[in-house]
Structure 1
Amino acid sequence: MSLPVPIDLHVRSYGRVRESDRHAYAQLVLPLDGAVALEIEGRERMLDPLQAAFIAPGATHSQYAEGLNRSFIVDVAPATLDPVVGDRLHERRFAPVGPEARKLVEFMRLLVERGAATPALVAGWAPLLLDTLALDAARPLSRLDALLARVEADPGAPWTAESMARCAGLSPSRLHALFREEHDTTPRAWLLQLRLARVCAWLGAAELPIAELALRAGFSDQSALTRAMRRSLGTTPAEFRRRRRT
């Protein structure tokens, strides 16, 4: 089966029944939530937000999942794929999703949730993501990667710098040092920006009350969210939602 467009992006969930497939285009599997077991030409790996998979054109593959899951599926026509990038990813099949790639995935997640992921944006985003994953495949994961993926999957949990340090198996001082080295920020500031980004996406796409969105994102109440948005974005949740809708 050929691909009718150069690059196509969609969100998919998998079930407990193993599904087998083979197609003439390349495919990138990027878990957003949960985990997916994926087998490519005899090599199997459990994918999560830290691990992506690249399926070369014509490669046989199958997948299944036990729990709730969602993944970005990026289909790429062979003529659109950079041969060097394709060869590098095909050699590894499974690539780590480092900080730079995660930022790109999070950016597209926000666009999809807002209904703003136009074909033109996807066509510009996908090659950059593939290039980034090809580079990430050649270097080891940071000690922060597992922690960041876990927090990104559940930003509303009662995270603190201390609980994040315990989760990463680091001391609080070492966690702060790594955040400064790799992201030029602090754990608390990074967490706040993550929560604000999620709220902004939900405000543009969901009809839920602002108070409920605040709690879901990890803020103590609507007032705490309003104060944070005023300081960081110069607006309030209600004003932000109104502008998005108009």
Structure 2
Amino acid sequence: MPKNAAHHAHEHHQVVIGLQGSSGLAGQGWEVGLDNRRACFVPTETRHDYFGNDINHVLVIDLDVSAPALSNPRHHDYDHLAPLFDRPQHLEMDNRLQNLIHLCAAELHQAPDNRSLHEHFATGIVHCLSHRLSGNRILRRRPQTFNTEVLRHYVREHLHRKITVKDLAREACLSVSRFHETFREMTGMSPHQYIIHARLDRAIELLRQPRLSLAEISLRTGFSSQGALTNAMKKHRGVTPSALR
């Protein structure tokens, strides 16, 4: 493990559990010291420093943010697991959980290439942590919103290039999975649908400028070709760009 602080971020959620020695995590406005009593939950793309001493040892579990249990509200584990990564947070572990973690860590050390064992142990550990953190209740997601005008302006200014859900989530200051859910709740459509309609709205505006060719309009509104613009316009607006012009 690194002895000095290392600044980084990940494209996955991460659970970091102290096993031995002294180490820690720190980000903007938060810091957690890790020993054999603490586990820390780090959401995807959370910039943070990791630091440790000469003998520190931690167990790290990487979680795919697109896994149904973390991204699909209909999944039976979603209400238990997804809230773990709403924000950086930590858990003080009881003796039973500490013993379980150390037992799993020892078994994993003996079988470093057994992927199936790693995945099963990781799943069990995360569920145990979730149960401890929630106590006797289900973790409920905090209602979240974002400034739709800021997002609309961002989309408008970047229509000429590819816009990803990750880009929009960053503007909304939410994780990708949380943004996708919140966006649907607020707008009634997916981010992809919203971007398509924004591109088409802008294309219709540009069609009023006779000097612009359909190819140029396609380029300015982020469609890969004139044909892509025509297909999207016909599918979503029921008319071709040429007929509309």
The interval holding the TM-score normalised by the smaller chain is 0.3 to 0.5
Structure of higher CA gyration radius: 2
Normalising by the residue count of structure 1, what TM-score does the alignment of the two structures yield? Answer: 0.46
Q: Which has the higher contact order (CA 8 A, sep 6+)?
A: 1
Normalising by the residue count of structure 2, what TM-score does the alignment of the two structures yield? Answer: 0.46
